[in-house]
Amino acid sequence: MSNQRQTSGFPAAWGYDKSRENHSMSQSGRRLFRIFGINIEFDYSWFIILFLFSLWLGDYFRAQPGWTPAQVWTAAVVTTLLFFASVVVHELSHSLMARARGISVHSIRLFVFGGVSQIESEPRQAWEEFAISIVGPLTSLILGALLVLAARTQTPHSLPWAVTYWLGWINIVLGLFNLIPGFPLDGGRVLRAALWSLSHNFDKATRWAANVGKGIAILFILYGIAQVLRGGDLGGIWMVLIGWFLLSAADQSLRQVKIQNALADYTVRDIASPFYNRLAAGENLEDYFNQISGQHEYRPSLVMDDDQLLGVIAPSDLRRTPREQWNSTPVRQAMTPRDQLTTAGPRESLHEVLKKIVAANLSQIPILQDGKVQGVIRRDRILQLLHDHLTPQP
């Protein structure tokens, strides 16, 4: 039985991802279930691979002697679901190891290319990176070996045997595939951990690992194109897509390093704005609407009681109250209260603040010192600073 041929271009378990910074993974997914306190989510693109995988497995199981169409498609659907369950197990191993090292885990996301654990920050040390990265492939290899052994207890060519045997070998292939040193595959992160340990420089290690990842991604793309030109099946196209994804992810990692370096020497106070819209707590939504429409300034406004910040109201908050009630609704009923606000301190690094702003999808956040408002930090000013630093000068 040639499992590799039948599944060329299978979805990968992509290790882990800094979900708060990676643009391709930052959108909120739909929750499937929750396990060990971690949300298992899916992107709608996941349904594409569920459908394609079921078709591929349907073709694969047709080769089993004496099987009826009902057995073929039952095996295809069940195996598809169990395979993605094994992808979740792979990702859970990353997530639980990260959490054991004190790193928060946002969720596990299933999408068209497989699965990814979304963690809140990078590991603090090279050995943590290594431990979090290597545990995924090891989990898949051990699971695969156990399933292959379990298949030997089944009657050959029976439905349980075929499903268990295929799942065993595909998990072994999945574990080996993820050890390829192409960022953001687990092997690419293991490589970064080794380079980080040798150089004692995380940024340099990331650049080296990402460049190796880009080279491997290009090889994937070239191999996929060659497969397509030789008249191969969808596996060639899938390899091109995986290569493109790897290339994009490696580029994103390099951009993150550039962003971090560009903002490394700046704090909030360097580009803080002392000017901001403010409203008294007793004003109503009609007053707020008149203020922003008269000034043509559609930024959030700080709701204040003398010098005390009570909350923030944004133009989008108006939509939650019927228009005819604006004149009788105080802004404090529609605002986001202070205890739910994302805020910054004047000495906080711009890189950390940018991550906060991006994670919450905000245009600006208030700056607080000793409980007092010192101004606001605006997303567009941070991005302008980045543009000035990263744009080559003529």
Active site residues: 91
Closest CA to 32 of 116, 107, 91: 107
Residue pair 25/184 in contact (Cβ under 8 Å)? The answer is no
Q: How many CB atoms lie within 10 A of CB 128?
A: 18
The DSSP H or E segment spanning 228 is helix 202-229
Which DSSP symbol is given to 27?
S
Residues 111 and 130: beta-carbon distance below 8 Å: no
Q: Identify whether the C-beta of residue 86 lies closer than 8 Å to the C-beta of residue 168.
A: no
Q: 22 in the Ramachandran plot: left (φ > 0), alpha (ψ -120 to 50) or beta?
A: beta
Q: From the CB of residue 229, how many other CB atoms can be counted at a distance below 10 Å?
A: 9
The C-alpha atoms of residue 91 and residue 36 are separated, in whole angstroms, by: 12
**Based on the number of CB atoms within 10 Å of its own CB, is 69 exposed (0-12), middle (13-18) or buried (19 or more)?**
exposed
Task: Tell me the CB-side half-sphere exposure of residue 301, using CA atoms within 13 A.
Answer: 30
First to last CA, the chain: 60
| Residue 328 dihedral angles phi and psi, to the nearest 5° | -115, 5
Nearest-angstrom CA–CA distance, 272 and 274: 6
Please give the angle made by the CA atoms of 320, 358 and 355, to the nearest 5 degrees: 140
Indicate the burial class of 133 (C-beta count within 10 angstroms; 0-12, 13-18, 19 or more): buried
219: tokens are: 């090889």
Q: Cα 185 vs. chain centroid, distance in angstroms?
A: 13
Euclidean distance between CA atoms 13 and 194, whole angstroms:
21
How far apart are the C-alpha atoms of 41 and 25, rounded to whole Å? 11
Query: Residue 291 in contact with residue 279, Cβ under 8 Å?
Result: yes
